[in-house]
Structure formats: C-alpha cells, structure tokens
Structure 1
C-alpha cells in the first residue's frame, strides 16, 4: 500500500473558512421562498463563492489497544448525506466554518465551488444540496437548478431580477473566471 500521497493545492489559498457577508445576506433574503428572484440571486451569489462540504471519518476496521480499548485501525473519509423519512437524500454544504461547526463540530471541511458540489450530488444520486442546513439561513438547491449547476453552468444576474446561465466555452475553465 502506498502511504506517500500527494495533496492537491487548495483552489482557495488563504481561505480561513469565514463566510462571505454578501453570501449570507443573499441567503437571508431568500429565506421563506416567497420571492423567486431572491432565491435565484442567492444561487447566483453562491456561484461566485466557495462552499465547505463536510467529510467525516468512518471506521472500516477496528482494533484493540494494549490497554484493551477499542481503536480505529483503518478509516475512510466520507462525504456526508442526510436522508429524509421519504428516502430522498441531500448533500450538505456550508458557507463558513461557523455554520459547519454548528451542525457538527468534528466534521472536516473540503472547499469546493457550487458546481463541483452539484456534480458530487448528482454522482451520488441525491435529490438536493442543503446549504447551511443548521443555519443561519438554510437554502435548498434542487431540481433543474441543481441539474444545471451539475452540468457546469453558473447562474448570473444579467439585469436586476433577470437571470441566465453562463456556459463555459470549449476548453475554458469556468473556475478561472
């Protein structure tokens, strides 16, 4: 087994895990879902930010210490999903470490763009992406919006209250702009 793994450089160097105040304001304005433009504006703002997707360690093999205590011999890191009573599952994402730790203090954050989180959600067969599930302003991204994000599109506000999908040109990297 090769134990010398290389970590990829962070796409968000210098990120301290603090939520962007503009993102939090947009999510707060979208609470309640009465204004479709506020919801779309929140998604558009999330497209310009990063999300923290939580991963947790799951023991795959247990052992016993010399003193007789149980210990993890091997563990895998797993992306966290929530499952509703009706069986639908959702991927979690957080705008800041404060929101992630309010949900689960020992979860480890992985910084990703919204489209990457949506691609993970689609690959895992989940119905939604829950942003800031534990607060302060939870937002559900699902349906056609989630599918468009997973396809690599980014939502932009083209004029006040008007929105469109930004599609990358052939060979262009949407994360670069």
Structure 2
C-alpha cells in the first residue's frame, strides 16, 4: 500500500471539515448542512447506494453483465479512503538529536494499492462500513464515482477496485475507468462491434489467419467471498482472441504469424485504448 497527496478536488472537499470529522467514523451520520462541503450528499447515511446494490445483486444472480454495474456506478456516490501522514518539519529527521513535538503537521494522503500483477489501483467503497472493515484508520471522503475515476486517472492508476475485502469486489478496468471519468457509456472490448472490425482489418492478407473470434477473457469473471462465480468484476485478461490458422504451418510459421498479428494490433491506438488485457488462443 502506498500513500499519495490528494488530487485537488478531493483536497478541496476536505477543507474546512477536518475538525468536525477527522478520525470519526461516518457510519450512521447525517452529512447534511449548509456548512458541510459535502452538502451534495445531504441525508447520506453512508450505506451502499440502492442503485449499485441492485446492479451488483443482478450481476451475482446472472441477470445482467458487468456493463450494468459500471452504468450504475456512473450515478452513485462512493467513498475514497484517505489517511493522515506526518508532513512539514516532522517528515525529516531532526538534526539536533531531539524530538520536537511542536513541529508535527498532518497531511491527508490518498491511499493507493498494487494489484498482483503490479498495476496501480485506487480502492473505493460504496459504504463506510466496507471502508472501516478494510482500513479502520482511513477517513472516507464522499465523491461521485466519476470524480473518483478522474482521481484514479490523474494518479495514473490502471484499475479502480470497488469494495475490496467485501462479499463482492468489483474491478473497474482501465477502459471502463476512462469512460467513467469522462462520463461516457462503456462497452467491454469483447462485445464491441467496432473493435471486432478493427481486429478483422488487422489480420495480415497472407491468408495464414483464416478467422478471428472475440470472446470474454479468462479474467472477466470474479468470485464472491464464499466462492460463487460472478460474470464480471475480474481484473483481466479481459479479451480473448481465438485465431484460426491455415493448416500445414510449421511451428516457426505459427510463431511469426502470431507475433506479426500482435504487432499490428499494438500499433492501433484505438485497440490499445479499448482493451485492458489480452489473451490469444490458436486453433486450426
């Protein structure tokens, strides 16, 4: 886990509110009041937003796919965790060998984590209860999910993870994260007809690749805490390309053909922007 200085819009949300809520749990609190800089969330009791809860329940039950969850996120409030860290003079070791209690300054830092594959992740939470269980000392800052996505993009995060450690954790992959930050509709790469056209046009004309099929990658699905498989919310691979190859190719031909195709795809900016992670399977 790493700590970073807050993006400006989150830092602004904290100004003038430290004495009232720093270090105090928000569970069950009424956030209303004209003097509260988070007044956009009047009457917010810190519970999971109903819209998101319904979409997630439908996803777990197999009634919808992950696009419905991202669409629900676009309309709801989430909590970004921040923690206090020492700053100012206390951040540096004293040169006289003495401790100076009066020199301490506390800054608020955005919490960032690393995924198992090393990518930077911004954790967000749909309720204060979820956040408190994950990090009891973190302070929840209420923002719309689109604003949280903007913060993630500004911090060069590749993923936004919703409710890590909860019964259902949902990963918003990079293309969905960018769409959420821009408040645009998102279609997963494996269900995007425009992307399918791009892939088809990238097939070399030598005839060695006879067909390309797009499908969800092995990392699209996730699991609940009790082991149930969920059709979305995974960290990737997001897209699976199955290449049907011409019969009779040698192993070297197969390697060179696959490498050439991957190179052509990587040169397509639109493909790179729309695909978070890729796996290729071969068939004859």
TM-score, normalised with respect to structure 1: 0.70
C-alpha distance in 1 between matches for 2:103 and 2:144? 32
Q: 1:14 aligns with which of 43, 57, 60?
A: 43
Query: SS of the residue aligned with 2:41?
Result: coil
**Contact preservation (8 Å) 1:57, 1:77:** yes
Match of 1:55 in 2: 82
Decide whether aligned partners of structure 1 residues 126 and 69 sit closer, same or farther in structure 2, where only a CA change above 3 A counts.
same
Does 2:179 align with 1:145? no
Give the helix-richer structure, 1 or 2: 2
C-alpha distance in 2 between matches for 1:36 and 1:128? 25
Decide whether aligned partners of structure 1 residues 14 and 71 sit closer, same or farther in structure 2, where only a CA change above 3 A counts.
farther
Structure 1, unaligned stretches of length 5 or more? 156-177
Please show how residues 1-177 of structure 1 align to structure 2 within 5 Å: 6=16, 9-10=37-38, 11-31=40-60, 37-60=64-87, 61=90, 73-153=104-184
**Contact preservation (8 Å) 1:47, 1:154:** no
Cα offset for 1:20?
A: 2.3
Structure with higher RCO (Cα < 8 A, 6+ apart): 1
Structure 2, unaligned stretches of length 5 or more? 1-14, 18-35, 187-284
Query: SS of the residue aligned with 2:56?
Result: helix
Cα offset for 1:83?
A: 1.1
Q: Which has the larger radius of gyration?
A: 2
**Contact preservation (8 Å) 2:82, 2:140:** yes
Task: Show CA shifts across 1:110-159 (max 9, x none).
Answer: 1111111111000000110000011121000012111111223356xxxx
C-alpha distance in 1 between matches for 2:140 and 2:170? 18
Task: Show CA shifts across 1:38-59 (max 9, x none).
Answer: 2111111122210011100111
Quote the RMSD (CA, aligned, Å): 2.9
Give the strand-richer structure, 1 or 2: 1
TM-score, normalised with respect to structure 2: 0.46
Runs of 4+ in 1 over 6 A off after TM superposition: 68-72
